[in-house]
Amino acid sequence: MLKIDERAWRIAVHPGERAQLSYLGFEVQGPAELGRAKRALEAAGVVVKRISGSAAEQRSVEELLRFEDPAGNVLELFYGQFCDYTFQSPRGVSRFVTGTQGLGHAVIGVSDFETSLAFYTDVLGFLVSDYMYQGDSATAFLRCGPREHTIALYGVTKDRDSRLQHFMLEVGELDDVGIAYDLVQDSEFGVTLTLGRHTNDAMVSFYCRTPSPGIQMEYGWAGKQMTPRDASVRMTKVDVWGHRTAKTGQSINDMIRK
């Protein structure tokens, strides 16, 4: 279990035969909200398991719902996560930006994009912050709180399983990003995308490999926040600057244009 703030933990790493997303959790305010979510899910034909007691304690929460999205990803809605109100980074990171924004974001490939998008928006109530098209492929950036996006869904071919492409952690200072950038370049994992700034969430970040093959981490600073009234937009450019591949030096913007 990995801890980045006052919560008992934010990231769980489990041994397995292949690198994959085991589950993804979203917080609701309390038992009444959990009950409403359960009724909405069941009305949409979703099989839901309600978990409490010792089984919920294994997740360090009071109670949770477990179910699958249309792509087969396991999702958990919970309330009452355990807190000890202490965290001190062993490396001296100023802070991780969490609170009402949650852990960060996750980007997931799905084979039935439209069905998955409808599930997250119409059933779970996520809002679309922005979206973009690359040829026949689409990506939608969704939010359930003030963070510009908590989930991003992108289309993959029918013969591919849903997978976690990357997750993002946001830190409190630009120097936190710069120091990590140097450390990653000196490590066995290495940078996959150089420092850059995204257009949609304004995040200054870099991407790197993780010990789980195929799953990357984005490490960033100064992400944008939104309100429920902010309109969704169609993106035509991914980055203001940077985010070039470490291998070829090509930018994401250039790859999309091609």
Q: Where are the domains of the chain?
A: 99-257
Judge: domain 99-257, CATH 3.10.180.10: yes
Quick one: tokens of 164? 């976690």
Per-residue model confidence as pLDDT tens digits over 78-135: 999 999 988 999 999 999 999 999 999 999 999 999 999 999 999 999 999 999 998 7
Query: Mean pLDDT score of the chain, rounded to an integer?
Result: 95
Percentage of the chain exceeding pLDDT 90: 90
Q: Which residues have C-beta within 8 Å of that of residue 220, sequence separation ≥ 6?
A: 168, 169, 170, 171, 177, 203, 204, 205, 206
Amino acid 182: pLDDT = 98
Cα 251 to Cα 256: distance, rounded to the nearest angstrom: 9
- The residue among 208 and 137 whose pLDDT is bigger is 208
Quick one: tokens of 166? 């990357």
Evaluate whether 68 touches 80 at the Cβ level (below 8 Å): no
**Closest CA relative to residue 13, chosen from 83, 21, 5:** 21
Amino acid 253: pLDDT = 83
Split at pLDDT 50, 70, 90, the class of 258 is: low
Per-residue model confidence as pLDDT tens digits over 5-52: 999 999 999 999 999 999 999 999 999 999 999 999 999 999 999 999
